[in-house]
Amino acid sequence: MATDYQEAIRILSEQEKILQFDSFTSEDAWKLGNIMVEEIRNQGINLTVSIRKMNGHIVFAYASEGANLNHQNWTDRKFNMVSYMECSSLLATARAHFLGRSLVEDFGLNYEEYKLCGGGFPIRVNGCMTHVITVSALAHEKDHAFIVGCLEKFLGKKAPAMDMEIPML
């Protein structure tokens, strides 16, 4: 069955609309990051986690024992994509599929610094993007779902689940 990219875009956009903050400080980054680490341990998974300000300054970072430098490199590429497209990296990927666009030819971006795949999510305070959360080491849709689940827990909100496959570009 083919992915309904319009429906994926709707769901992913709704997630971003719901999972916004009234404020977000470095202390909040620490608290959210620790929720993420607790979930990593509870689920018995390996992940690299990063929460960065828009200027790239890392305010929280964690790498589980099974994570490696390659995962960190992927978090860099996902951060760049979220920063550039101003939406989650999975939403950017779904939009690119829907529009038939490519990273290099249509956006002029290189694969070494950017990647259209899930695992990067914007933190918005009253609609303004202030930080980016990235994780890497799972399948990219699961990276995205992990972030959404942790944000739901932190914010005490529920967002619609995104359970469609969206191939990386």
What tens digit of pLDDT does each residue of 79-89 get? Answer: 999 999 999 99
On the question of pLDDT at 1 being above 60, the answer is no
What mean pLDDT do residues 99-127 have? Answer: 91
Q: Please, which pLDDT band fits residue 104 given cuts at 50, 70 and 90?
A: confident
Q: Tell me the pLDDT of the chain averaged across its residues.
A: 95
In sequence order, which ranges of the chain are alpha helices (DSSP H)? 5-18, 26-43, 69-85, 89-99, 140-155
Q: How far is CA 39 from CA 36, 161, 164, in A?
A: 5, 18, 22
Token readout for 166 is 């969206």
pTM higher than the cut 0.75: yes
pLDDT of residue 105: 80
Q: How many whole angstroms separate alpha carbon 88 and alpha carbon 81?
A: 8
pLDDT of residue 2: 66
Q: How many whole angstroms separate alpha carbon 169 and alpha carbon 97?
A: 8
What mean pLDDT do residues 138-150 have? Answer: 97
What mean pLDDT do residues 51-75 have? Answer: 96
